[in-house]
Amino acid sequence: MSQKPRLFLGSSSEGLPHAQVIEAHLAKDFEVRLWTQGLFLPGHYPLESLEAVAKECMFAVIVGTDDDVLTKRGTTSRAIRDNLVFEFGLFFGLFGRKRTILVTPKRVALALPSDLDGLTRATYSRRAGPPTSKAWMKSLHVVAVEISKALLKEMTAERAQRARQHESKRQARRQQAALRLYRAVTQLRDLFIELPTNALGAIGKKSKFDKVKQDASKKVRNLEKDWHDDAELLGVVPQLDALASATSRALLAFPYPTIHVTGDEATEVAGRLLARVKSGTPTERLGAAAKQVGDEVERKVAEFANMYKDWWAKHAPVLRERAYALQDRVTNGMVGDGR
């Protein structure tokens, strides 16, 4: 498939030799769609065909030759075909004045719409010699070179503008992705910090306690999926996965506290300890048992405190390291990409 920009080239039947000479020179830089090349099909309106070719092309060149004579308000002037004026206006409206060029003969008072007054046109010398002569062809060659330079300059400027717009949008997407990933670190940290409170709220039953941990771990994985596109855009998928995996492992590793001090379990513990006390009055025996219950509870609380400290000491540094790695990679990527 051709990588050259497409260009529509129109003319009258009488001006076709002029258009063909210009086409031969423009073909070096453009894929030229000359109007005679099957663009106007039987059974179609010319306007439909022009609209169809306009969708395929980026530029238009209309070669006007003074084929007609027009008398207006008592003044007779040379004129180009009405359909060419229409085609020029059509492409002018679709492509803009810098991508639509009108070619006319030099030093010929042409009858053109007043709206075109002041518009610089590409001109050739009709006095250079008869058609197909070297001088005539040279004159059209000069016109073709001017047209090519003007359109290529416009194309370069337009591509540069599109590249700037594309880069601006890309940077905006990257910035938004970076902000979301910075917030992701905060959300994962909050899940880690809030788990002890949430889990201890379900301390009465281990299955409920474990479900709190599993739900928190599942939330981590769901959030990671939500952030995947952002991480892929910034090239930090490994860092995000490392942080999410470490967070999930930490949540699932939160220890269940084996403290029996409430409800039936507390009654069972108290009865068991009371049975161990064999001497003394009932009041003394109850006091001794209560002290042993208190000592066991205190010991269990101390054990859990140590378990919690060990859990925190094991996982907190890992999560902090993973979080810093992700944030640093995101920041470095944004700074390095701002070239």
Determine how β-strand 75-79 pairs with β-strand 68-72.
Answer: antiparallel
Q: What is d(CA 24, CA 19) in angstroms, rounded to the nearest whole number?
A: 9
Q: Where in the chain is the domain with CATH 3.40.50.10140?
A: 6-127
Q: What is d(CA 260, CA 277) in angstroms, rounded to the nearest whole number?
A: 20
Between 3.40.50.2300, 3.90.230.10, 3.40.50.10140, 3.50.50.60, what CATH number should domain 6-127 receive?
A: 3.40.50.10140
CA 204, 207, 213, 218 dihedral sign is: negative
Backbone angles phi, psi at 124, to 5 degrees: -125, 160
* DSSP H stretches of helix in the chain: 16-26, 46-56, 82-95, 134-200, 206-234, 237-252, 263-276, 282-337
3-class DSSP state of 106 = coil
Q: What is d(CA 323, CA 242) in angstroms, rounded to the nearest whole number?
A: 9
**Tens-digit pLDDT profile for the chain (339 aa)?**
458 999 999 999 999 999 999 999 999 999 999 999 878 777 778 888 899 899 999 999 999 888 767 777 777 778 888 889 899 999 999 999 899 999 988 877 777 777 777 777 888 887 766 777 888 888 899 999 999 999 999 999 988 999 999 999 999 999 999 999 999 999 999 999 998 888 877 777 888 989 999 999 999 999 999 999 999 999 999 999 999 999 999 999 988 876 544 545 555 655 555 555 555 555 555 555 556 555 565 666 666 678 888 888 999 999 999 999 999 999 987 775 644
